[in-house]
A = this chain, B = another copy of it.
Amino acid sequence: MDFELSILGSSSAVPTSFRNTTAQVLNAFGRFFLIDCGEGTQLQMRKYRIPYARINHIFISHLHGDHFFGLIGFISSLALQGRTTTLHIYAHKKLEDILNFQFEALNTKLPFDIVYHYLDSSKIEVIYEDKHICVTSFSLKHRDIPTSGFLFKEKEKPLNIIKELVDEYEIPIAQRVLIKQGADFTTKEGEIIPNRELTTKPKPPRSYAFCSDTAYTEKFLDVIKNVDLLYHEATHCNDNKDRAKQTYHSTAEQAATIAKKANVKKLIMGHFSTRYKNTNTHEKEAQAIFAESYAVKDGDTFKL
């Protein structure tokens, strides 16, 4: 089952010729989650062949324009294409006001409902859950702007039952469900077969954490602990460490420090300041702290 992240934008604040502002799509088992939506995100979705009609859940980290100015156009395009499926938006309350003000001013009648789920960036909370995946929001540190990070975590899968033994012991269907949950099995002859002989362990659940924008803070370390993939903004390199601090952004070295302390498998960095011509220094400075550190570019995909 797919668990794939697509980077649609990796510039900070202002887009460049090569980098759009922040937007990502996580395809988790055919559910397409949109994370942030800078201007031009719908264009990037077309370019990178994201099946955007299948996006039902949108997560907006905070209300700076480079993270949501593409939303009104994207929603309008969905409406023009005749969408009827409900759209869920997870964001801070003001976003609803901003979108509604425009829909009312333009006399727009959407052919689908939007359900807003207000983020409370002072809390760690589960904001979405289905049988396969759980999304948790947590607080970042970005000036006085309520800003949330998101953890997408696959749920524990049941144990894999060994097919040959099902046949050998003639295990009934009802029993198989219990065995997958850890139960032992008693044969017709009264012999108890321990669960560990009947099953193999499932693949460990996969996880992705998104952290943008934020100054260096360890307050969410516990939440993102051991994730397979961490996106952490790295607006600056060490040459602008003071500027990063002033503007509540991070350096590549700080992103790598978080990755190391959280014991993640891989770090990807984005939200690069336009002052950098390339990301060689970001990678160099990050890798000195945490080897598995990479700078993303628009169009990159990461399969877990």
Contact = CB atoms under 8 A, between A and B. Distances in A.
A76 interface: yes
B63 A69 contact: no
Interface stretch (A13-21, A116-124, A154-162, A225-233): A13-21
Contact of A80 (B14, B43, B70, B101): B14
Interface in A44-87: 46-47, 63-66, 69-70, 72-73, 76-77, 80-81
A43 B63 contact: no
Contact of A46 (B16, B43, B69, B72): B16
B97 A39 contact: no
A285 B138 CA distance: 58
A130 to B, nearest CB: 30
B102 A46 contact: no
Contacts of A105: 63, 94, 97-98
B42 A15 contact: yes
Chain A interface SS verdict (over half) = helix
A106 interface: yes
Interface in A154-189: none
A218 to B, nearest CB: 28
Contact of A72 (B15, B42, B69, B76): B69
Number of contact residues on A: which range applies?
Answer: 20 to 34
The count of identical subunits is 2
A77 B77 CA distance: 23
B106 A102 contact: no
A40 interface: yes
A43 B20 contact: yes
A73 B69 contact: yes
A80 B13 CA distance: 8
Given A14-B81, A39-B40, A106 B64 contact: yes
Given A39-B73, A65-B72, 20 more contacts: A14-B80, A14-B81, A17-B46, A17-B47, A20-B43, A39-B39, A39-B40, A39-B43, A39-B70, A40-B40, A43-B43, A63-B105, A63-B106, A64-B106, A66-B76, A69-B72, A94-B105, A97-B105, A98-B102, A101-B102
Sort A-B residue pairs by CB-CB distance and give the 10 closest, nearest first.
A39-B73, A40-B40, A69-B73, A65-B76, A14-B77, A101-B101, A17-B46, A94-B105, A13-B80, A98-B105
